[in-house]
Structure 1
Amino acid sequence: MKDERSIGAYASHEQLVAKARPYPELWRLLVGLAIVVATYTILNLILFGLAAGLGPSGWQTGLQNGSSPLAMLVLLASFGFVTFGVTLAAKWMQHRTLTSVIGRWSATIPQFRVVLRALLILGAVIFVLPPYDYGAPLVPNLAFFTWLALLPLSVLVVLIQTSAEEILFRGYLQQSLAARFRSPLIWMGLPSLLFAIGHYAPAAAGDNAMLVAVWAFIFGLLTADLTARAGTLAPAIALHFFNNAVALLVVSLPDSLSGLALYHLPYDMTDTGVLRQWLIVDFAVMIVSWLTVRLALRR
């Protein structure tokens, strides 16, 4: 990644990194991350405390795993606290605005539109291609008209969740490391590794946990690559949003984050047979999606 061709391909990344360069000290990054974690934790405790008190009896557990539509809406919306935390960290540690982390709106919005349109076309093509089932009949979750009525809110909270993760990992963290280190191996690799660690959940995924973490690591590298090529977070947010919208709103696993899905898969995260086969397919779809975004951006 250190050759001139890679550096040239990532020249647009400087548009995001430039305002972080005057503040390359690692202590600033560490304090900034502490601000993000503290902000998210404190505001989440307040939100979930209020939600648990106001909600129906016994639904606190659902708030943790998103097993009902309302729980999922609250859970995904709470990721907005991550974005707020990054806003504070960027301002206090690097004297930057959130816009400087995301990218110029004049480029961000058009890129988001172009990429999302390309991914929707790709999704339609994949939908009509075999295989036509998941190894067993899908399990209905929400009634169609209930799902449809919730869809505008569902789409909004998924966008909040995916934007927050990209703003933190491919935004603040990646840019802060790039301001300090020249090598993409560091400023792409370290955020991707932390992203993978955040997705490592052996208690929920069992023997599939490492495979899920590897998936997340590769996804992090690909979205980091798109960010560096585009000079905004728009392509990464659009790809992450497209992926999570399908996985959370259309067909989800039944054991977690399943409350807003139209259907559930007929197996859970711990299934080491069928799920592993589909994870391999998902790896392939991820690579094709990344190439589709590259083509849409001509980068």
Structure 2
Amino acid sequence: MRSNVIKGHQGIGTGVKDATYVEAARWGKYRGWRYVLGLVVILVAQLIVGTFASALVAIAISGQEGLAAYTQQDFSAIGSVGGFLVSMAGFPFFLAGILIAVSLIHRRYPRTLITARERIRWSRIGHGFVAWFVPLGLVEGLGQYLFYPDSFSFTANLATFALFVPLALILTALQTTTEELFFRGYIVQGASTIWANRIFLALVSTVAFTVPHLLNPEAIAGGWLTIFLYYFVGGGLVLAVVSLVDGTTELAIGAHFANNIFGFLVVNAVGTVVTTPALFTVSQYYATFHALSMLVIVPIFLAIAYKVFKRDKASELVSQNNQIGRR
């Protein structure tokens, strides 16, 4: 999505130009060393502080047994809700690292990781959610039930599910938005200072997104097919491309949230990276089915996102204060 902005240094408003969130990378202080420093801050916040926070939550839940469960990545000893909390505990620090990098190191608004507009369009985030949730529900929900009916079971504890819902909504939104701000936002913007070619930017973002997921149980179980179709294409490349086409990460934020909340709340499979008290549980993770499902989900997602929901052509002027010359 493109929007009209005033181009130039602070206080020197000259021509008007269409800008995307990628171009917003040059509105603040954007020398290469700043992106290197920003990545260091973000990765320290995620990998060191976030890991420590997850360990503390595991200990708080179940003492040394909880710590052992976290170390072995086997949360059966602390329960599905406990495992979910431990898995999500590091994301507030991951997000804090991103906000510190953008605000203090690059001296621009964190909103520019999402859009070059004055305001985030929540409706477009909603479009992304619906466009992904609908085919996901039909293919991985109804489709999986039709192919593997004996593996489906309805939750035995609706009280636990009801208590888990608000927790899942809040923490999943935090998790998926943080990942979008980093992989489709910060990584793409940083790479654009090297080369603004869209193919290059899409590939850099997709590889950066895929690599951390290689150790997930789903990737190990499904091998190269799951890695390529489920993570590289479905989870990475498609969302990177639509972000570059739209000029914002709004659509990707909605789609990513839809994908994860469906797995956490609606249909969860045993053997996935996070086991939750979802409404339905599948007793086995069918890796090939999930990988091939991307071949159906992606075209339907694109059709809904761009045919059912039309892109808003209206634009808004962006404050010159967002645009500070290179320093």
Report the Cα distance in structure 1 between the residues aligned to 2:200 and 2:192, rounded to whole angstroms. Answer: 8
User: For 1:116, which of 109, 123, 129 is the aligned residue?
Assistant: 129
Q: Distance in 2 between the 1:156 and 1:178 partners?
A: 31
Which letter maps to 2:278? A
Q: CA deviation at 1:27?
A: 3.2
CA contact (8 A) 1:143 1:262 kept: no
- The equivalent of 1:259 in structure 2 is 276
Structure 1 position 151 matched with structure 2 position 165: yes
- Aligned to 2:121, the other structure's residue is in SS state helix
Q: 1:20–1:175: 8 Å Cα contact kept in structure 2?
A: yes
Indicate how the Cα distance of structure 1 residues 117 and 264 shifts in structure 2: closer, same or farther if over 3 A, else same: closer
How far does residue 24 in structure 1 lie from its aligned partner after superposition? 4.7
Aligned residue in 2 for 1:191: 205
Residue-pair matches, total: 285
Structure 2 CA distance for partners of 1:113 and 1:55, relative to 1, 3 Å:
same
Matching residue of 2:9:
none
Deviation at 1:127, TM superposition (A): 8.1
Using CA pairs under 8 Å that are at least 6 residues apart, name the structure with larger relative contact order, 1 or 2: 2
C-alpha spacing 1:291/1:206, structure 2 compared with 1 (3 Å): same
The answer to whether the Cα contact below 8 Å between 2:130 and 2:258 also exists between their aligned partners in 1 is no
Corresponding residue number in structure 1 for 2:111? 99
Aligned to 2:88: 76
Structure 1 pair 193–205 and aligned structure 2 pair: CA distance change class (3 A): closer
C-alpha separation in 1, matches of 2:291 and 2:218: 16
Instruction: Decide whether aligned partners of structure 1 residues 130 and 194 sit closer, same or farther in structure 2, where only a CA change above 3 A counts.
Output: closer
Amino acid at match of 1:112: I
Cα distance, 1:164–1:105 mapped onto 2, change above 3 Å: farther
- Name the aligned partner's letter for residue 216 of structure 1: Y
Which residue of 1 is the match for residue 253 of structure 2?
237
The structure 2 residue matched to 1:180, chosen from 180, 188, 194, is: 194
After alignment, is 238-247 or 141-150 more displaced? 141-150
Structure 1 residues 198 and 130 mapped into 2: Cα distance closer, same or farther (>3 Å)? closer
Q: Is the 8 A contact 1:195 1:220 kept in 2?
A: yes
Match of 1:18 among 20, 23, 28: 23
User: Which of 21, 40, 45 does residue 39 from structure 1 map onto?
Assistant: 45
| Counterpart-to-counterpart distance in 2, 1:142 and 1:112 | 33
Q: Distance in 2 between matches of 1:208 and 1:124?
A: 21
Task: Provide closer, same or farther for how the CA distance between residues 202 and 145 of structure 1 changes in structure 2, counting only shifts above 3 A.
Answer: closer
The 1:28/1:160 distance shift into structure 2, 3 A limit, reads same
Q: Which has the larger radius of gyration?
A: 2
Please state if 1:217 is matched with 2:232: yes
Query: What code does the residue aligned with 2:199 have?
Result: L
Deviations 1:56-87 (A, max 9, x none): 24123444455520220342242122221111
Aligned partner letter, 1:88: I
1:201 corresponds to? 215
Bigger drift between 32-41 and 227-236 goes to 227-236
Name the stretch that deviates more: 217-226 or 113-122: 113-122
Are the aligned partners of 2:69 and 2:75 in contact in 1 as well (CA < 8 Å)? yes
Q: Which letter does structure 2 place at the counterpart of 1:116?
A: F
Q: What SS is found at the alignment partner of 2:19?
A: helix
CA contact (8 A) 2:206 2:232 kept: yes
The CA deviation at 1:49 is 3.9
Instruction: Specify every segment of 5 or more residues in structure 1 that has no aligned partner in the other structure, as ranges.
Output: 1-9, 269-273
